Amino acid sequence: MNVIAVMTSDYIGLVIVLAMLSSSRIRRRGGGDEFKIMSFNGILTAIACIIDFFAFCLDGIPGKLYRGVSLVANTFCFVANPLFVFSWCLYVDMKLYKSRRRIKKIYPKVAIPAICLFIMALINIFIPVIFWIDAENVYHRMPAGYLFYVVDLGYLIYSVWILKNYEKKYGKVRFFPLYLMLGPIIVGCFLQSIFYGISLIWVSLAVGLTAIYMASQNEFSYVDTLTGLYNRAYLDYQIEIMARAGGNLGGIMIDVDHFKQINDTYGHSIGDEALIDVARILLFSKPDKGIAIRFAGDEFIVLMKDTNEQQLKKIMDNIRAEQDIFNETEGRQYTISLSMGYSIYDRDVDTVDSFFKNMDDNMYIEKNIHHQK
């Protein structure tokens, strides 16, 4: 065992995760449940880096007190390990689906392996099954300890399944490169499992967490905080790329009918809820390659590359069908009504401004019809 190497590894992990927690504190305070879970995992990792170092330092120092502290420290690390990977799955699920109801329904069962390992770690204090500490206070890993690596891998695979299943239903998720989290953890766990006396798990978790946080900064810049759709900045970015590329570029402008009436009648919080509902309707209606954007206020855009007039009309039909299903099943205080207009970008004739204006003009044709009813 190389104490200096362990100290260096845990110190790097501690500094990385503390820097991440410090730089993200404002966003985490104003964020949703997923940011609370990220905070929990960050704090858990920081504590584990400290305790892991002391567990290694005490290894081989005789004395009942040192032995007791070493036993508690190593037990904590084994308890924290499945707790982290379980919480990571919670984070992925909440970030994607943002549904507490889904969490309450699914995760009592998902938690069973982590609970079993937690109980196993506590039992190990009295009956060694994971590790034991001999009379000279030397730590020894037991075969059952490898079960923790297996369960960790299972949870990581499950988090990938959550993402892939979500993308299958709702399209590709941008700004969430899961491999940045999983890569360091898998490598760290593998190396620690085969090389006795090194500590790489907690620094690997710190690196993975920080990588995901850094990736989320792009999301923070390009995603509308209310609806979760992309914002105007991302639209400008995509338009610039798509306008230069080959293939047709099409867009659908969507406006919420009588939105001011919803705000005036029920209040702005209900108005916000209506905008979130519209965002969901668009996400359920658009193809995978379509990009749903909150353009401004109660105006939205679905942007499509390599499309034609027939495909755009089909998307509009899907949106109307999804709108009707929503109104029939959700039982809101309000009824969602959407006006839409489409346009195809002609590179020989149009500018970006004229492309938007054509969509807007076509949308207002339908909007005037709705207001006359």
Domains of the chain: 3-222 (1.20.1070), 232-372 (3.30.70.270)
Provide the terminal-to-terminal Cα distance of the chain, rounded to the nearest Å. Answer: 79
Alpha carbon 230 to its chain's center: 15
CA 89 to chain centre: 9
What pLDDT was estimated at residue 339? Answer: 94
Please state, in angstroms and rounded to a whole number, the distance separating the CA atoms of residues 362 and 301. 13
Q: Are 312 and 344 in contact (CB under 8 A)?
A: yes
Residue pair 292/172 in contact (Cβ under 8 Å)? The answer is: no
Q: Which two tokens stand for residue 175?
A: 């700004």
Distance of CA 283 to the CA centre of its chain: 17
Per-residue pLDDT of the chain (373 residues; tens, 9 = 90+): 577 878 888 999 999 999 988 887 766 665 678 888 988 999 999 999 999 998 888 888 888 889 999 999 999 999 999 999 999 999 999 988 878 889 999 999 999 999 999 999 999 999 999 999 988 889 898 999 889 989 999 999 999 999 999 888 777 777 788 888 888 888 888 887 777 667 788 999 999 988 888 887 777 788 888 888 999 988 888 887 776 776 678 999 999 998 999 998 899 899 999 999 999 999 889 988 889 999 989 999 999 988 899 999 999 999 999 999 999 988 888 999 999 999 998 877 888 889 899 999 999 888 887 666 5
Q: What is the dihedral of CA 300, 306, 312, 317, to 10 degrees?
A: -90
Distances (CA, A) of 89 to 34, 37, 80, 156: 10, 10, 14, 7
Q: How far is CA 23 from the centre of its chain?
A: 18
The SS3 of residue 76 is helix
DSSP string, 16-37: HHHHHHHHTHHHHHHS-HHHHH
Whether pTM > 0.75 for this model: the answer is no
Burial, 197: exposed, middle or buried (Cβ in 10 Å; 0-12, 13-18, 19+)? middle
Q: In this structure, what DSSP letter does residue 172 have?
A: P
